[in-house]
Chain A
Amino acid sequence: MIKTDIVVIGGGPAGICAAINAASSGAKVLLLDRDSQLGGQLIKQTHMFFGSQKQHASVRGIDIPGILVKEMEEYKDNIQIMLDATVLGIYEDGVLTIEKNDDYIKIKPKGIIVATGASEKFPAFPNNDLPGIYGAGAVQTLMNVYGVSPGKSVFMVGAGNIGLIVSYQLVQAGVEVKGVICRGPRYGGYAVHASKLKRIGVPIMPGHRVIHAHGKDKLERITLIKLDENKKEISGTEFDIETDVLCISTGLTPLGELLWQMGCEMKFIREFSGHVPVRNEELETTVPGVFVAGDVAGIEEASSAMVEGRLAGLCCAKKLGFTNPEYSSLKEDYLQQLHDLRSGPVGDGIRKGLAKIVV
């Protein structure tokens, strides 16, 4: 049984930042990720990030983990990293069980920061498990991490930022994108991403839904139907499109299983796309000593995930008696940064969500 002060679960932007701040406050930290490299979602994002300078805007997503890992090296005496390590369970006595390269490891920390990110939502329609139907995350990973093309032609379901960005990246990689649909009357992502796609001639088709996939051993064809302004199907408007890849990008949902298992009070918050833990301003959940940060606390962005990570790391360490000399000013700064990131019309939903979940 490994003993340590703080375990951080998930090595995405939130988890790395949490580890840095917990360690810089003096706590011994074990940072775990089931992937074989740190970075979480960022390792596949080749585009420039938006946001403010403080959170590495205008840097490409894939370059951010490197910057953070460098910062982490300053505290290497306090941080141990364990990769290819999946947290399987957290038990009522506070013990974590881990699978690492087929080994079974137990860890007993004093504090836990959960930064497991999110998983993709997947719509239900007949044959949605045919080979050739991917989540957008998988397509991005194939393309941007491994340099493998997912197919010759792709049809994209979902016109949020991820759907739009991945479509554009596919075209850049030489794959034909036959179209992008969404259910609502307008695409959901930022106009910058949508107009790039339009310029290169990829049709964005609001008011459609996939109702069927066809193919013998793999995807060959999909059936779409038109929707009215209330997202109701208009019968008789079905039509087919041939494609060998269908990419699903219908949003993310927080990956909170471990929080459920620990008995954290969870609430469904529409603005955060799923069940998220009730927590206080310091990101501590209803289970004492268990903190959250990043997408698992509500789907947002890497920028806010990093700040939340720092805040959670700082406060979790404090809770265990490791008080950063600059605790008060740092905490105030992080809260201010989060406030700024969430201000303005884009942050509307986030602010509404937070009002329902922060106690």
Chain B
Amino acid sequence: MNKSASVVIIGGGISGCAIAYNLAKKGVKDVIIIEKEYLSSGATGRCGAGIRMQWGTEMNCRLAKYSVEFFETANEVLEYAGDVEFKQGGYLIIAATEKEVAQFQKNIKLQNSLGIPSRYITPQEAKEIVPHMDETQILGAAFNPKDGHLNPFHTTQAYADAAVRLGVEIMKYTEVTGIKVENGKIAGVQTDKGYISTPVVVNAAGGHAQIISEMVGVKLPLYSERHQILVTEAVEPMQGPMFMSFSQNIYCQQTPHGSFIMGRGDPTEPRDLRVTSSWEFLEEMAKTCIRFLPPLKDIRMVRQWAGLYNMSPDAQPIYGPVKDVEGFFLACGYSGHGFMFGPVTGVVVSESILGEEHTIPVDALSYDRFEKGELILEPSVV
């Protein structure tokens, strides 16, 4: 089965589907998404799916704000038959150290100046928002009622359905095994189901992005690392916001369905592509969760799993073209927060491909920032 396309997108996660939708909306024909398994089988379907506007740099605040505003009307804009389940219950980010108190107060000033309604609150106020928390464990908290979380499967499906209606083809269970470059230009993509000739390839392969890039001889400064997460049985709604802490290493949300989803990182995690689970995670997660949210000790967990963070040197995504290979575009390196940037990804990468000016300020996220040494200093990453 050989065919041709105008753009081939590698990866059927939130990034690939959002890019395909935006390209098709702009009238691009013959866009193909290639996904080696099923939609959302990568980090997207494994993630915490939280979105926060509480960032420490102006750019990230703006990108997140753009995404929140999009998610607020995503069901209508994408004409989705289901529901992306955007629960806008806020993000409550606890301050457990003096350093965090100072940082959050600084961040909030910046956020407020950009129209983000975050505020610094006392432990007492935090307890009013999350009544089952142990407020004696914290010094204060940052709260933004407009943050929240979504259902990542529905969100991706919403983009995919809209893209397909606009003519995009999605090839599932198809793996890219090679990319053909001729005279410094993309010529086509080899898959296990046949060859597709195309002048444009988008690398939206999540934790496998560095492997895809090597197929065109580009060595990206990226690595992947396992992050684990679990889900509990469903209980009555009791927690509005995403509860999180940078220093204490926890995020925990309650889905509209009633299940709690929570995760934490492990600083000793090796750099590789494993997505297996460990019992150590369960134990550490349970301890951390019960310390801050004691009543959750009575809830049963039903499942644990893991996904890959695709880490870049400054923990920021890489968007746009690669100088040395004409027609090769990047949408990777999200470093653990690429779900919330999905709407931005879709817009800016489609603009890059069409040579249009960016409508959202992401020039600082181009690949050549590493060459120039212009890394982004975002203080508020997990």
Contact = CB atoms under 8 A, between A and B. Distances in A.
Interface residues of A, number: 9
Contacts of A266: none
Interface stretch (B58-66, B98-106, B146-154, B273-281): B273-281
Contacts of A263: 276
A224 interface: no
B282 interface: yes
A97 interface: yes
Which interface class (under 10, 10 to 19, 20 to 34, 35 or more) fits B? under 10
Consensus secondary structure, chain A interface: loop
B31 to A, nearest CB: 33
Nearest to B300: A99
B278 A92 contact: yes
Interface string A70-113: 00000000000000000001011101010000000010000000
Contacts, number: 16
A43 B282 CA distance: 34
B116 to A, nearest CB: 41
B234 to A, nearest CB: 15
A266 to B, nearest CB: 16
A91 B228 CA distance: 13
Contacts of B278: 91-93
Of B276, B279, B282, most buried by chain A (CB within 10 Å of CB) is B279
A102 to B, nearest CB: 10
Contacts of B276: 91-92, 263
B168 to A, nearest CB: 30
A95 B304 CA distance: 15
Interface string B137-169: 000000000000000000000000000000000
A321 B46 CA distance: 41
B36 to A, nearest CB: 18
A97 B278 CA distance: 10
Contacts of A89: 277, 279, 304
16 contacts: A89-B277, A89-B279, A89-B304, A91-B276, A91-B277, A91-B278, A91-B279, A92-B276, A92-B278, A93-B278, A95-B279, A97-B279, A97-B282, A106-B279, A261-B277, A263-B276
Interface of B: 276-279, 282, 304
Q: Which 6 A-B pairs have the closest CB atoms?
A: A92-B276, A91-B279, A97-B279, A95-B279, A91-B278, A91-B277
